[in-house]
Amino acid sequence: MTEDLSKRRLGRGLAALIGEMDQPIQVSDPPKPMNSDRMVPIEHIGRNPRNPRRQFDESDLQDLASSIRQHGIVQPVVVRTVADGFEIIAGERRWRAAQLAGLHEIPVIVRDVDDRTALEIAIVENVQRADLNPLEEALGYDQLIAEYGYTQNDLGGIIGKSRSHVANSLRLLKLPDPVRDMLAKGELSAGHARALITTTDPVALARTIISKGMSVRDAERLAQNEVKQQAQSSVVDKPDQKDSDTLALERSLSDALGLDVKISHKGGAGQMRISYRSLEQLEDVCRLLERR
């Protein structure tokens, strides 16, 4: 219980820090940067290898570099001290663009934080700015869960998202690598990708969605048809194969709960199985049922 409270307090602390970093800046002529701790030579600053953000659009960086040449950096980069200088916590995009702009030093805010808090701040900052693609976001959540034992509720509180948002984000990691690559490149949206999770050939369906420029709703219909055709093709050999309506219901409940749901029935009776990986997930389901 104490650990849960500390995590909630930490979430509010992170939100406050990001809020402080995100205060609107009144740009005058010339613009002035936000209050920073100091100016640091750019070569003394290195990227954080654990930063969840992996992709940086080159044209966007060039646009930002052009703005920096004209106005300077109006928002400091958040860093922490390491053995050989400083490591970026939040603001790698600004740091990269500053190099393209030819700056020799940049304003920084120095924070004394450990690895876990640095990772949390990086994820919060990127999620709030919508700087992460859906796969990067999911990998960041998974990293916090795997390394530091966070629950989906913990993460939802920290980033200001619902538990179901976190759960559905994590479900994207079930997709095969080719589909994950399409998601990372922006060729598929998270909605497109979620429709493919329970299909038998998500790679082929993903390519069809991209080539035809399908909407998310069209992609969901395509996925449902694939599941239905698969069920029909195997009905002779497997008379107990689930029908497409049952599979669609399983998928709908799985999306709503963020957990794997299996339904089996015969005639008018049957059972529903909800799989969970931790006691926290079980408690989440119990709370949902109690509210009914």
Amino acid identity of 117? T
Among 87, 92, 137, 250, the one annotated catalytic? 92
Q: Are strands 105-110 and 45-46 parallel, antiparallel or unpaired?
A: unpaired
Sorted by sequence, the CB contacts under 8 Å of residue 40 that are 6+ apart come out as 79, 85, 86, 105, 106, 108
Q: For residue 111, which of 89, 96, 91, 128 has the smallest C-alpha distance? A: 89
Q: Is 92 a catalytic residue?
A: yes
Our measurement of the distance from residue 134's CA atom to the centroid of its chain's CA atoms, rounded to an integer in Å, reads 5
- In the numeric block, the tokens 């701040």 are attached to 121
Structural element, H or E, at residue 286: helix 279-290
DSSP string, 197-261: TTSS-HHHHHHHHHHHT--HHHHHHHHHHHHHHHHHHTTTT-TTPPPHHHHHHHHHHHHHHTSEE
Q: From start to end of the chain, where are the E strands? A: 38-41, 45-46, 77-82, 85-90, 105-110, 260-266, 269-275
Tokens of 140: 């960041």
**Would you name the residues annotated as active-site residues?**
92
